[in-house]
Structure 1
Amino acid sequence: MTPTAAPAGPSPTDAAEDPIPGLVGFTAVLRHAGLPITTDRVAAFLGALDTLDVTSRLQTYWAGRLTLCSDPDDIRRYDAAFEAWFEPQRGGKTTISDERPPPPPKLASLMPSSDRSGDDDEHDEQAPELRAAASGTEVLRHRDLGELTPVEREHLRRLFALLRPEPPTRSSRRRRASRHGEPDPGRTLRAALRNEGELRELRHRDRSKRPRKVVLLVDVSGSMEPYADSLLRFAHVVVRRSPGSVEAFTLGTRLTRVTRELRQRDAEHALSAAGKAIPDWSGGTRLGEVLRAFIDRWGQRGAARRAVVVIFSDGWERGEPDLLASQMDRLSRLAHRVVWVNPHAGKDGYAPVQGGIVAALPYLDDLLAGHSLATLEKLLKVVRDA
Structure 2
Amino acid sequence: MDMREAEHTLEGLVGFARALRHSGMRCGPARVRSFLDATEHVDFADRDQLYWAGRLTLCSDPDDLPRFDAAFHAWFGRLVETTGLRQEQRRQVRSRALPLGGDEPEPAESTEVEQLAAAGDVEVLHRRDLAELGEEERAHLRRMISWLNPRPPRRPALRWRRARDGRLDPGATMRAMIRTGGEPVRLVRRTRGDRPRKVVLLIDVSGSMSPYADALLRFAHVVVREAPASTEVFTLGTRLTRVTRQLRQRDPEFALTAAGRAVPDFSGGTRLGSTLRAFLDRWGQRGAARQAVVVLFSDGWERGDTAELAEQMIRLRRLAHAVLWANPHAGHEGYAPVQSGIAAALPHVDGLVAGHSLAALRELWQRVRSCSESAATGRPAGDSVEVSGA
Normalised to the residue count of structure 1, the TM-score between the two structures is 0.73
SS of aligned partner of 2:233: strand
Q: Identify which of 267, 286, 293 aligns with 1:282.
A: 267
Gaps of at least 5 residues in structure 1 are 1-26, 53-57, 65-77, 87-95, 101-121
Q: Identify which of 189, 208, 213 aligns with 1:223.
A: 208
SS of aligned partner of 1:344: helix
SS of aligned partner of 2:329: coil
Q: Identify which of 35, 38, 43 aligns with 2:67.
A: 43
Amino acid at match of 2:292: A
- Correspondence 1:139 to 2:163: no
Amino acid at match of 2:173: T
How far residue 45 of structure 1 moved from its aligned partner, in angstroms, is 4.1
- Correspondence 1:358 to 2:343: yes
Cα distance in 2, alignment partners of residues 41 and 195 from structure 1 = 56
Q: For residue 200 of structure 1, what is the aligned residue in structure 2?
A: 185
Cα distance in 1, alignment partners of residues 140 and 367 from structure 2 = 25
Q: For residue 165 of structure 2, what is the aligned residue in structure 1?
A: 180
Question: RCO higher in 1 or 2 (8 Å CA, sep ≥ 6)?
Answer: 1
Give the 3 Å change call, closer, same or farther, for CA 48–155 of structure 1 in structure 2.
farther
Give the 3 Å change call, closer, same or farther, for CA 189–41 of structure 1 in structure 2.
farther
How far residue 196 of structure 1 moved from its aligned partner, in angstroms, is 1.5
Check conservation: 1:167, 1:383, Cα contact below 8 A: no
SS of aligned partner of 1:160: helix
Amino acid at match of 1:180: D
Cα distance in 1, alignment partners of residues 216 and 234 from structure 2 = 12
Cα distance in 1, alignment partners of residues 259 and 82 from structure 2 = 42
Q: For residue 156 of structure 1, what is the aligned residue in structure 2?
A: 141
Check conservation: 1:141, 1:373, Cα contact below 8 A: yes
Q: For residue 67 of structure 1, what is the aligned residue in structure 2?
A: none
Amino acid at match of 2:144: L
Cα distance in 2, alignment partners of residues 79 and 278 from structure 1 = 44
Cα distance in 1, alignment partners of residues 264 and 81 from structure 2 = 51
Check conservation: 2:220, 2:233, Cα contact below 8 A: yes
Cα distance in 2, alignment partners of residues 99 and 198 from structure 1 = 67
SS of aligned partner of 2:290: coil
Cα distance in 1, alignment partners of residues 250 and 92 from structure 2 = 29
Amino acid at match of 1:196: G
Amino acid at match of 2:263: I
SS of aligned partner of 1:368: strand
Check conservation: 1:308, 1:335, Cα contact below 8 A: yes
Normalised to the residue count of structure 2, the TM-score between the two structures is 0.72
Q: Aligned residues, how many?
A: 302
SS of aligned partner of 2:218: helix
How far residue 181 of structure 1 moved from its aligned partner, in angstroms, is 2.5
Cα distance in 1, alignment partners of residues 158 and 113 from structure 2 = 57
Once the two structures are superposed, residues 41-64 of structure 1 have per-residue CA deviations (whole angstroms, 9 ceiling, x without a partner) of 522543676xx5xxxxx9542xx5
Cα distance in 1, alignment partners of residues 196 and 260 from structure 2 = 28
Cα distance in 2, alignment partners of residues 183 and 99 from structure 1 = 56
Cα distance in 2, alignment partners of residues 300 and 143 from structure 1 = 38
Once the two structures are superposed, residues 186-219 of structure 1 have per-residue CA deviations (whole angstroms, 9 ceiling, x without a partner) of 2212221221110122211111101110000000
Q: For residue 14 of structure 1, what is the aligned residue in structure 2?
A: none
Cα distance in 2, alignment partners of residues 335 and 187 from structure 1 = 36
- Correspondence 1:300 to 2:324: no
Identical counterparts, % of pairs: 57
SS of aligned partner of 1:208: strand
- Correspondence 1:247 to 2:214: no
Check conservation: 1:43, 1:161, Cα contact below 8 A: no
Q: For residue 352 of structure 2, what is the aligned residue in structure 1?
A: 367
Cα distance in 1, alignment partners of residues 254 and 130 from structure 2 = 21
Cα distance in 1, alignment partners of residues 166 and 82 from structure 2 = 56
Cα distance in 2, alignment partners of residues 164 and 327 from structure 1 = 32
Cα distance in 2, alignment partners of residues 152 and 230 from structure 1 = 12
Give the 3 Å change call, closer, same or farther, for CA 255–98 of structure 1 in structure 2.
closer
Check conservation: 1:253, 1:280, Cα contact below 8 A: yes
SS of aligned partner of 2:194: strand
Cα distance in 1, alignment partners of residues 182 and 272 from structure 2 = 66
Once the two structures are superposed, residues 66-108 of structure 1 have per-residue CA deviations (whole angstroms, 9 ceiling, x without a partner) of xxxxxxxxxxxx56659xx99xxxxxxxxx84499xxxxxxxx
How far residue 342 of structure 1 moved from its aligned partner, in angstroms, is 0.4
Check conservation: 2:234, 2:241, Cα contact below 8 A: yes
Cα distance in 1, alignment partners of residues 267 and 205 from structure 2 = 6
Q: For residue 210 of structure 1, what is the aligned residue in structure 2?
A: 195
Cα distance in 2, alignment partners of residues 226 and 297 from structure 1 = 29
Give the 3 Å change call, closer, same or farther, for CA 80–327 of structure 1 in structure 2.
closer
Gaps of at least 5 residues in structure 2 are 1-47, 96-106, 373-390
Give the 3 Å change call, closer, same or farther, for CA 125–251 of structure 1 in structure 2.
same
The root-mean-square deviation of aligned C-alpha atoms, in Å, is 2.7
How far residue 184 of structure 1 moved from its aligned partner, in angstroms, is 1.1
Q: Identify which of 323, 326, 334 aligns with 2:311.
A: 326
Check conservation: 2:146, 2:218, Cα contact below 8 A: no
Q: For residue 101 of structure 2, what is the aligned residue in structure 1?
A: none
